[in-house]
Amino acid sequence: MGSATERDMTHEVLAQLLAERTGQDLSPSRRWRVETALSALLRESDATTIDELVAKLTSPFGCPLSSRVADALLNNETYFFRDQQVFDVLAKSALPKLIAQRQDKRRLSIWCVGCSTGQEPLSLSMLLAERAAMLDDWQINIVATDVSHRAIDVARRGVYTPFEAQRGLGIERMIRWFEEVDGRWKVSPRLLKPIRYQQHNALHAPPMGSPFDLVLCRNVLLYFDKPTRQQVFSQIAASLADDGMLLLGAGETPVGQTARFAPVKDLTGFYCLGTPDMPEARPRTAEVPARG
């Protein structure tokens, strides 16, 4: 890169682009990643420096490039059964609770916000498929969304490198749910069947399929400032069934951010709808209300 001023201007343009497209904050602590994240795009777009690449964004052909630059700046880190303990709580407590609540309708609708390349919705799909006997005549819908076109394309293909497949998956599950094709691991169509992948920005109105019984939004809010997080919480609150639950990532909480959600008693990481108009009356811990 060029002088310190040029560098600052370049980062300013990139930060603005990322904020406009995704709501994310390109904080100074993330700047070190910029060069690595954009290195493939530099090669593809015949630019030798990031300043040159940024200059191309303002050309008449800059629009598709802008979208690819914003996409490349996103952190898509994910793996199967990320935070195993949370998936244990999902399997042993949260899903059985939701299944009990939906016995009459025999339908479960789940929204996975910021699903990246698909490992999270597939982990969920595995948990549900492994309860096939219990959910035999149920309609299961998992809407899995991400702002990144690139991540959604990978997720739709459902094909993973051996490294990706092994991250979080035991050998039993790999053999049961994947097929090895030309040195890569292709996910079983049975797991993909309940999932509908869609490119979608979490700041916008929720995708089709609401009200959702369960919303996962894990490791997505970390990169937003407080007002943007509040916007995402509002969209999720609008999409959730009255007795539904929200699951956040390990470092994420609505506490001190919004009154729209309150912790679910005894289910760490899970939240139910709070009382937005009377935050002072919001319970410190809340049970998910029984149905019916």
Ligand X SMILES: C[S@@+](CC[C@H](N)C(=O)[O-])C[C@H]1O[C@@H](n2cnc3c(N)ncnc32)[C@H](O)[C@@H]1O
User: Taking the complex as a whole, how short is the minimal distance between the CB of residue 74 and ligand X, in angstroms?
Assistant: 4
- Using Cβ positions, the residue closest to ligand X within the complex turns out to be 114
**Do residues 159 and 181 make contact, with C-beta atoms less than 8 angstroms apart?**
yes
Cβ closest to ligand X, residue 101 vs residue 228? 228
Minimum CB–partner distance for residue 161 and ligand X (Å): 16
Q: How far apart are CA 212 and CA 193, in angstroms?
A: 18
| Closer residue to ligand X, CB minimum distance, 127 or 203 | 203
Closer CB to ligand X, residue 78 or residue 109? Answer: 78
Q: 78 in helix, strand or coil?
A: coil
Cα atoms in the Cβ-side hemisphere of radius 13 Å centred on 216 = 30
Phi, psi at 197, each rounded to 5°: -85, 140
Residue closer to ligand X (CB basis): 121 or 194: 121
Least Å distance between CB 258 and ligand X?
A: 16
Q: Going by C-beta distance under 8 Å and a sequence separation of 6 or more, which residues neighbour residue 250?
A: 83, 86, 219, 269
Interface residues toward ligand X, by CB under 6 A: 22-24, 74-78, 82, 114-116, 120, 146-148, 151, 201-203, 218-220, 249
Q: Which is it for the CA torsion 123, 222, 282, 206, positive or negative?
A: negative
In the complex, minimum distance from the CB of residue 111 to ligand X, in angstroms, rounded to a whole number: 11
Task: Give the nearest distance from C-beta 234 to ligand X in angstroms.
Answer: 13
Q: How is residue 253 written in tokens?
A: 């909480």
Question: Quick one: which of 194, 288, 183 has its CA closest to 245?
Answer: 288
Nearest distance from C-beta of residue 259 to ligand X, angstroms? 22
Residues 105 and 45: their CA atoms lie apart, in Å, by: 52
Closest to ligand X by CB, 102 or 206: 206
Least separation in angstroms between residue 249's CB and ligand X is 6
Q: What sections of 3-137 are H helices per DSSP? A: 4-22, 32-44, 50-57, 62-73, 84-89, 95-101, 119-129
**CB closer to ligand X out of 83 and 130:** 83
Nearer to ligand X, 165 or 243 (CB): 165
Cα–Cα distance between 1 and 63 in angstroms, integer?
Answer: 22
